[in-house]
Amino acid sequence: MDILKWRNEQIYHLRQEKLLTEIDQENYFKNIVNKLFNQDQPSQLLFSFLKGEACIGYGGLVHVNWVDRNAEVSFIMNTELENEFFSMYWKIFLGLIEQVAFKDLKLFKMFTYAFDLRPKLYSILEKESWLKEAVLKKHFCLNGNFGDIIIHSKFNLDFYDL
């Protein structure tokens, strides 16, 4: 239910159309997430992000394209920790998910697809050698205002030649 709370608090930057209910969350985990564990090539791989025993975030690889060897990176953390710890935890998460994506799964590319609302997010990506690959102009609408989508990518140079 922590994830439900965080998603609802941060709906402004998520591709989530409405506030989630407990029933929505239970159905998602029961009907979507639980089935991923039995798939050889799941469409998403989700992980809890822990500090000690406490879950302070979650994320993973979503929209995994096994044919083209790419996936979108998704991450959300406890809203109460964002102001002080977002940069540190996002950087740690990126390092962990890069290991999973590139070393374990041997994907070719990871990317982010983010509403242009969170400047701290992009500066960290660029410091971690992610390429600002595209800006989709006026690509989403929030409260009647259109905004840009920013896509950053990182390529697996250890296993693939560009």
Q: DSSP readout, 28-80?
A: HIIIIIHHHTT-SS-S-EEEEEEETTEEEEEEEEEEEETTTTEEEEEEEE-GG
Q: What is the pLDDT of residue 119?
A: 79
Give the model confidence (pLDDT) of 58-71 as tens digits.
Answer: 999 999 999 999 99
The DSSP H or E segment spanning 87 is helix 82-98
Q: Alpha-carbon distance 121 to 58, whole Å?
A: 16
Q: Which CATH architecture has domain 2-155?
A: 3-Layer(aba) Sandwich (3.40)
Whether the model clears a pTM of 0.95, i.e. scores above it, the answer is: no
What average pLDDT is seen over the chain? 92
